[in-house]
Structure 1
């Protein structure tokens, strides 16, 4: 059986989220033109304090213009795991995808 993704309990896993800025943009050449596939946005979590979180949104959602440190909410988040190797050691990078990232009600 293959693990496709995990759907987190956002309140318990991330707590309160605040917008921290833009992350990486993933592009791909399609029919000779470069198209945006996804956009990443960084958020701060009051529970996951060790690292800033990057949320990956599909390109069709469009670019977000959210004020810095504004409270945000994830729409349908999913966490995937990507394995990678450095030398003889294996590591896992957890990636959070969401359908959208919106301003939260205070």
Structure 2
């Protein structure tokens, strides 16, 4: 079974979001074009009043540009969707839910 994407209810599932800052880039955030590395997507940390157990990591395309908001400034996601990524450690299965969006804007 493939979970391609799930569209969350922004108010019920994510609640009020506040900007936490840029997240450390991962390997798939860049690709090599000739001799240069090109940024494909960026990751940001957001805080939610609904999802309190952990910070929310959001991935946006590089075309949306770099985001510069004040710490804890209210923000909104444009067209968010969720994907799932599974992996195994010592025979145990785990899953990461990743939130993608077209952009992050001021609330």
* TM-score, normalised via structure 1 length: 0.94
Extract unaligned runs of 5+ from structure 1. Answer: none
Q: For residue 6 of structure 1, what is the aligned residue in structure 2?
A: 6
Q: For residue 66 of structure 1, what is the aligned residue in structure 2?
A: 69
How far apart, in 1, do the equivalents of 2:106 and 2:55 lie? 18
**Stretch of structure 1 that moved more, 19-28 or 37-46:** 19-28
The secondary structure found in structure 1 opposite 2:24 is strand
Extract unaligned runs of 5+ from structure 2. Answer: none
How far apart, in 2, do the equivalents of 1:20 and 1:76 lie? 19
The secondary structure found in structure 2 opposite 1:24 is coil
Following superposition, the deviation at residue 22 of structure 1 comes to: 0.5
Q: For residue 16 of structure 2, what is the aligned residue in structure 1?
A: 16
User: Which runs of structure 2 are paired with 1:1-106 in the superposition (5 Å)?
Assistant: 2-25=2-25, 26-104=29-107
Task: Show structure 1 runs of 4+ deviating over 4 A.
Answer: none
| Deviation digits for residues 17-65 of structure 1 (CA, Å, limit 9, x no counterpart) | 0001111332111122110011001000001001000100001111001
The CA RMSD measured in Å over matched residues stands at: 1.0
State the number of aligned residues. 104
Higher strand share: 1
The secondary structure found in structure 1 opposite 2:12 is helix
* TM-score, normalised via structure 2 length: 0.93
